[in-house]
Amino acid sequence: MAHKNPEDSHLSSVKNALRILKSFTMDEPEKKISDISTTLGLNKSTVSRTMATLASEGFVFKDPDTKKYRLGLSILSLSGIVNSNMDVYRESQSILNRLVESIGETAHISVLDKLDVIYLQKVECNHPVRFLTHVGRRNPPYCTSSGKAILAFSDEEIVEAVISKGLEKFTKNTITDPQKLMAHLLEIQKNGYTTSFEEFHEGVNSIAAPIYDYRGKVIAALSVVGPKQRIQSHKVSGFSKKIIDAAMEVSERMGYRG
């Protein structure tokens, strides 16, 4: 009878722990053992042992009343280390603050992670409206302004991978035809910015411009998001210029020289 390799068992435990941590979201910040077991297809005993280990290291916390787990402070300390080492996060802070003060809408810094756009930085305006754009949120790139700003200047294989994954229709304005998306990305290259007018969420408009690094490679996007009543088509010209200027200032701080 074959014996299970202890190293394989250890790696499996690590993988389970990572899957469990990644299962917590802004929409589901608290979970019971049974919830995690069902969602991930793991035995309750396995989840229970893993959670006990994670709790002992401060990565999760168990509410004694509800018996539900939530992420612990050790996660927060790690995220702080990541953010402090991401130059674009650090260099964009003051620029976003000035842009939000100037435009009066919420601004973000986003990066492409695998085939999703993930929000790295967010500065709220004085009259925010609840959007699905919290830090750490993953959204599809082909129907968000930040995602399209990155895709337009990305390698062709990345764009092809996004298309191959499928262009799901979220609203009547979502671009789901691959040829139309490719043509749209070429237009973004010419303009230097892009918009998303109710392409992902009804009633939500956004404008974005790319951010470059010292090699001239696009590494992120700067976007402004707001309700369609405030971000209207006649404001795009004035807003886009300020957004492009802000994105270029971040780029220059990242070593970009044009």
User: What SS3 state is found at 136?
Assistant: coil
Mean of pLDDT values over 57-74: 87
User: Taking 50 as the threshold, does the pLDDT of residue 39 lie above it?
Assistant: yes
User: Residue 41 pLDDT more than 80?
Assistant: yes
pLDDT in the model for residue 118: 86
- Band of residue 74 on the pLDDT scale cut at 50, 70, 90: confident
Distance in angstroms between the alpha carbons of the first and the last residue of the chain: 64
Q: What is the pLDDT of residue 95?
A: 92
Rounded percentage of the chain residues whose pLDDT exceeds 90:
52
Question: Bigger pLDDT: 75 or 132?
Answer: 75
What CA–CA distance (Å, rounded) separates 127 from 68?
33
Residue 98 has pLDDT above 80, yes or no: yes
Which residue blocks in the chain are alpha helix, DSSP H?
6-22, 33-40, 44-56, 73-85, 87-103, 145-151, 156-165, 178-191, 236-253
Who has greater pLDDT, 125 or 157? 157
- 77-99 mean pLDDT: 75
Q: Residue 150 region, left (φ>0) first, then alpha (ψ -120 to 50), else beta?
A: alpha
Whether residue 227 is predicted with pLDDT greater than 70 in this model: the reply is yes
Task: With CA atoms as reference, report the closest residue to 209 among 191, 197, 228.
Answer: 191
Residue 154 is predicted with a pLDDT of: 92
- pLDDT at 76 exceeding the cut of 70: no
Average pLDDT, the chain: 87
Q: How far apart are CA 62 and CA 257, in angstroms?
A: 50
> What mean pLDDT is predicted for residues 23-38?
89
Helices of type H across 63-196: 73-85, 87-103, 145-151, 156-165, 178-191
Q: Side chain identity at 50, as an amino acid letter?
A: T
- CB atoms inside a 10 Å sphere around CB 190: 7
Compute how many other C-beta atoms are within 10 angstroms of the C-beta atom of residue 117: 30
Instruction: Indicate if the pLDDT at residue 84 is higher than 70.
Output: no
Ranked by mean pLDDT, which of 68-82, 126-140, 186-200 comes out on top? Answer: 186-200
Question: Which whole number is the average pLDDT over 200-226?
Answer: 92
Which pLDDT band, with edges at 50, 70 and 90, does 133 fall under?
low
Q: Report residue 1's pLDDT band, with 50, 70 and 90 as the boundaries.
A: very low
Average pLDDT score over residue span 227-233: 90
Q: How far apart are CA 8 and CA 43, in angstroms?
A: 18
How far lies 187's CA from each of 86, 161, 173, 184, 249, in Å?
A: 30, 20, 17, 5, 23
The answer, yes or no, to whether residue 241 has pLDDT greater than 90, is yes
Q: Over range 100-107, report the average pLDDT.
A: 92
> Does residue 214 carry a pLDDT above 90?
no
